[in-house]
Amino acid sequence: MCFSHLRWDFVYQRPQHLLSRFANDCIVYFLEEPMFTDAPESTIQFTRKLTNLWVGVPLISNSEEADVDAVLTQLLDKFFATKSVEDFAFWYYTPMALNFTSKYSPKITIFDCMDELSAFKNAPAKLKDLEKQLMNKADIVFTGGQALYEAKKNQHANIFPSPSSIDKDHFAAARENISEPEDQAKIKGVKLGFYGVIDERFDIDLIRDIADARPEWQLVLIGPVVKISPDILPKNQNIHYLGQKSYQELPAYLSGWDIALIPFLLNESTRFISPTKTPEYMSAGRPVISTPIRDVVHPYGVNKLVHIGSTGDEFIKYAEQELAVSDKSQWLEQSDEFLADNCWDNTYASMTAKIRDTVKNKGKISLAS
């Protein structure tokens, strides 16, 4: 059972990649954060997404909103009434779930620390304390990148860096002669693109500076706008907000870009991020320009596979360099060689091997049995 702060149908990322693979080997329940309803009784609404994967949304009656954690505990008690908790692995993405799960003793407790959530906008005040509790409770901890591992490695005896990976074949389709989606195809000219969540981590001023300086270039921004007001986003005619797209659609959009961007601010919320889009862009055959996010600088920047810039002028300089290069075969070859072993199947295999070792060391039977 996975406890997540992200919804399954929001942005397809690390949780979906990993848990869909777990669903090939065992039954997975993905429990989202609650929603509120006018129904007289609270319940968990489960929807089957894959053969062995169920997404559960706790629907909390408005009449019980004042004591959500107690209601969630009752709902889990009801869920486990016909199941043995000892047959389960608890997989946490959010320490906040400890508020209603701390009493349970599953076979193994796993904390996949994909981000420093306490640094994100609107983070609950209790988050840091609950993360400390989860670190004490977890049998094994993974981090979503090397920088986050360096920050957390002394907090747990069984912790491993596990950077997010890529589905190379999926994104390599962007290198083929495929048609751009209609909303992007009508945008003519040089295209610099970004996909991902547009939130407090996004460098709005950087995008504005590029758009102002090069009005003939088109900036294509794909993704939902969350935790910030859309009113503060730049409204230049050459900036195009195309909204959220499905994971399956992304290669078609990438196929029409000349340059791929990672325009993140350097602040507490980005200090430990490890953008999965870096190797995804590279797999799609698109040159990448990024702000100096630590997990992009190392290893991609130092290996001269990604341009690192801090200002609009630097982004423009690197973009002009790339636009002047007609033969990118050498860079593509170097990128492909660097990413040769980077795939979600390998990441999943490595993580499950460490989980089995952890179970074995606890003196219990294998998760696979």
The verdict on 238 and 281 lying in the same domain is yes
Segment 137-159, tens digit of pLDDT: 999 999 999 999 999 999 999 99
Residue 330 sits at φ, ψ, to 5 deg, of: -65, -45
- What's the structural domain count of the chain? 2
Contact 180, 256 (CB under 8 A): yes
CATH code, domain carrying 261: 3.40.50.2000
The verdict on 151 and 182 lying in the same domain is no
pLDDT at 46: 98
Candidates 123, 113, 96; CA nearest to 32 is 96
The verdict on 143 and 237 lying in the same domain is no
Helix (H) or strand (E) holding 160: strand 159-161
The verdict on 18 and 111 lying in the same domain is yes
The verdict on 63 and 206 lying in the same domain is no
Q: Would you say residue 318 lies in a domain? A: yes
Report pTM: 0.91
The verdict on 161 and 183 lying in the same domain is no
Q: What is the mean pLDDT of the chain?
A: 94
pLDDT at 121: 75
3-state secondary structure of 221: strand
pLDDT at 364: 47
Domain span at residue 6?
A: 2-165+344-361
Q: Would you say residue 366 lies in a domain? A: no
The verdict on 262 and 130 lying in the same domain is no
Q: Which of 63-67, 153-157, 206-210, 225-229 bottoms out in mean pLDDT, i.e. has the lowest?
A: 63-67
The verdict on 12 and 145 lying in the same domain is yes
Please report, rounded to a whole number, the percentage of residues in the chain having pLDDT higher than 70.
98
The verdict on 185 and 238 lying in the same domain is yes
Q: Would you say residue 18 lies in a domain? A: yes
The verdict on 146 and 252 lying in the same domain is no
3-state secondary structure of 22: helix
Task: Report whether the peptide linkage leading into residue 287 is cis, meaning its omega lies within 30 degrees of zero.
Answer: no
Query: In whole angstroms, what is the distance from residue 122 CA to residue 42 CA?
Result: 26
Question: Residues near 180 by Cβ (< 8 Å), separated by ≥ 6?
Answer: 252, 253, 255, 256
Mean pLDDT (whole number) for 166-176: 96
Q: Would you say residue 299 lies in a domain? A: yes
DSSP 8-state symbol, 266: -
Output the six-digit token pair for 364: 């219990």
Mean pLDDT (whole number) for 117-140: 89
Q: CA triplet 80, 85, 91: central angle to 5 degrees? A: 105
Q: Would you say residue 19 lies in a domain? A: yes
Question: Residues near 26 by Cβ (< 8 Å), separated by ≥ 6?
Answer: 52, 367, 368
For the stretch 191-207, what's the b/e string if a residue is b when 16 or more beta carbons lie within 10 angstroms of its beta carbon?
bbbbbbbbebbbbeebb
Mean pLDDT (whole number) for 272-284: 95
Contact 246, 253 (CB under 8 A): no
The verdict on 350 and 318 lying in the same domain is no
Contact 180, 255 (CB under 8 A): yes
Count of positions (residues) in the chain? 369
Q: Would you say residue 124 lies in a domain? A: yes
Segment 32-46, tens digit of pLDDT: 999 999 999 999 999
Segment 211-240, tens digit of pLDDT: 999 999 999 999 999 999 999 999 999 999
pLDDT at 66: 75
Output the six-digit token pair for 157: 């005896």
Sign of CA dihedral 116, 121, 127, 129: positive
Residue 47 sits at φ, ψ, to 5 deg, of: -130, 130
The verdict on 258 and 295 lying in the same domain is yes
Strand segments, DSSP code E, in the chain are 2-3, 28-31, 35-37, 43-50, 53-61, 89-92, 108-113, 140-143, 159-161, 191-195, 218-222, 239-243, 259-262, 288-290, 307-308
Q: What region, left, alpha or beta, does residue 95 occupy, with left being phi > 0 and alpha being psi -120 to 50 degrees? A: alpha
Candidates 263, 226, 220; CA nearest to 242 is 220
pLDDT at 363: 56
pLDDT at 34: 95
Q: Which of 113-122, 151-160, 195-204, 234-243 bottoms out in mean pLDDT, i.e. has the lowest?
A: 113-122
Neighbouring C-beta atoms of residue 316, cutoff 10 Å: 18
Q: Which residue has the tokens 């751009």?
A: 180
Neighbouring C-beta atoms of residue 178, cutoff 10 Å: 13
Query: In whole angstroms, what is the distance from residue 128 CA to residue 141 CA?
Result: 16
